[in-house]
């Protein structure tokens, strides 16, 4: 009798193991990839992560010309993503990238050579047209802001881009801001760096500068509100900044996963800390224009396989 019970128990164990094995095989074959699978596809055994960033935008991404160190909101977001990918801060290498090179993932090394980066975190607004370009895969968004205008204090108040009709306005070449400004009838000049626009404004080469509020607010704050004024021009469309992952679909999925977790984990305050440090602190210098939305934008939930013990 006892032998019969043992035999039945063994039989049940064998059946249970078989069911588990079949279930695992089915999940692995037809289910979504695991985070480990995605990480292997995205970065393999890489020991360094190359990230293209702007180098001339205070509060967003600014390189110290003496130390070479980068600081700003974009830099903290880049560290957030890199850390979740498994890279320590000393394994992250930032490379300066210009506006027109963000879609091509081509940044510049210290000796001026072009380098293909793994990610671009460079105030890159998500648009349908950009998303359809070869080599562009956006993850995010990670920030929502609006297009705005900065002038010298002596300039008359500006409540719309049409108020600048016929005036000399500078913006980033190939940016979303250039299209809107041109349609308003301004005399538009495009520069590779927004800092060149601001320098031209201060030198009276231009009458105004237009681009995203989160970018311009840094220059107004750096100026201390002494010579520059930030204007809300009443544009309702949001500029939603995304992270370009190039052709790397697995990396795009992972970045979206980490941004989603960041937005939904109440204990993860990294995004909020970056916002408070670099953007909220600038708001007092731009009282008429909101610098950026003060909460992390929603990112679609990513379907990633998790075992019960991982939840």
DSSP secondary structure string for all residues of 20-37: HHHHHHHHHHHSPPBHHH
DSSP secondary structure string for all residues of 56-106: EETTTEEE-TTT--EESHHHHHHHHHHHHHT--GGGEEEEE--GGGTTTTE
For the entire predicted model, the pTM comes to: 0.88
Angle CA(168)–CA(170)–CA(171) in degrees, nearest 5? 150
What is the distance, to the nearest Å, from the Cα of residue 290 to the centroid of all Cα atoms in its chain? 19
Residues whose CB is less than 8 angstroms from the CB of residue 195 and which lie 6 or more positions away in sequence, other chains included: 56, 57, 219
Token pair belonging to 103: 């879609």
Q: Select from 150, 147, 122, 146 the least CA-distant residue to 136.
A: 122
User: What architecture (CATH level 2) is domain 147-231?
Assistant: 3-Layer(aba) Sandwich (3.40)
Domain 35-142+239-281+295-310 grouped into CATH 3.40.50.720: no
Question: Residues spanned by CATH 3.40.190.10 within the chain?
Answer: 35-142+239-281+295-310, 147-231
Would you give per-residue pLDDT tens digits along the chain (311 residues)?
555 565 565 555 554 544 443 343 444 455 789 999 999 999 988 899 999 999 999 999 999 999 999 999 999 999 999 999 999 999 999 999 999 999 999 999 988 899 999 999 999 999 999 999 998 999 999 999 999 999 999 999 999 999 999 999 999 887 777 777 777 778 889 998 999 999 999 999 999 999 999 999 999 999 998 999 999 998 888 999 999 999 999 999 999 999 999 999 999 999 999 999 999 999 999 999 999 999 999 999 998 886 655 45
Helix/strand/coil for 155: coil
């Amino acid at each position: 009798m006892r032998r019969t019970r043992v035999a039945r128990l063994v039989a049940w164990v064998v059946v249970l193991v078989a069911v588990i094995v079949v279930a695992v095989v089915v999940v692995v074959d037809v289910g979504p990839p695991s985070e480990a699978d995605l990480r292997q596809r995205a970065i393999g055994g890489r020991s360094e992560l190359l990230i293209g960033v702007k180098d001339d935008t205070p509060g967003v991404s600014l390189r110290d010309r003496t130390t070479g160190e980068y600081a700003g909101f974009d830099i903290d977001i880049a560290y957030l993503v890199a850390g979740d990918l498994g890279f320590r801060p000393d394994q992250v290498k930032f490379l300066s990238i210009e506006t027109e090179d963000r879609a091509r993932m081509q940044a510049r090394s210290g000796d001026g050579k072009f380098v293909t980066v793994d990610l671009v975190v460079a105030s890159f607004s998500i648009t349908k047209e950009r998303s359809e370009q070869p080599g562009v895969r956006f993850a995010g968004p990670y920030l929502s802001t609006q297009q705005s205008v900065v002038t010298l204090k002596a300039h008359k108040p500006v409540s719309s881009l049409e108020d600048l009709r016929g005036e000399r306005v500078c913006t980033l070449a190939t940016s979303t801001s250039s299209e809107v400004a041109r349609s308003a009838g301004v005399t538009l000049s495009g520069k590779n760096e927004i800092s060149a626009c601001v320098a031209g404004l201060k030198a009276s080469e231009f009458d105004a500068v237009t681009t995203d509020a989160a970018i311009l607010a840094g220059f107004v704050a750096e100026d201390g509100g002494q010579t520059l004024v930030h204007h809300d021009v009443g544009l309702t469309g949001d500029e939603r900044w995304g992270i370009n992952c190039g052709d790397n679909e697995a990396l795009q999925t992972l970045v979206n996963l980490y941004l989603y977790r960041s937005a939904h984990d109440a204990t993860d305050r990294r995004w909020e800390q970056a916002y408070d440090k670099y953007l909220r602190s600038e708001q007092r210098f731009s009282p008429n224009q909101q610098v950026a939305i003060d909460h992390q934008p929603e990112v679609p939930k990513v379907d990633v396989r998790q075992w019960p013990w991982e939840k």
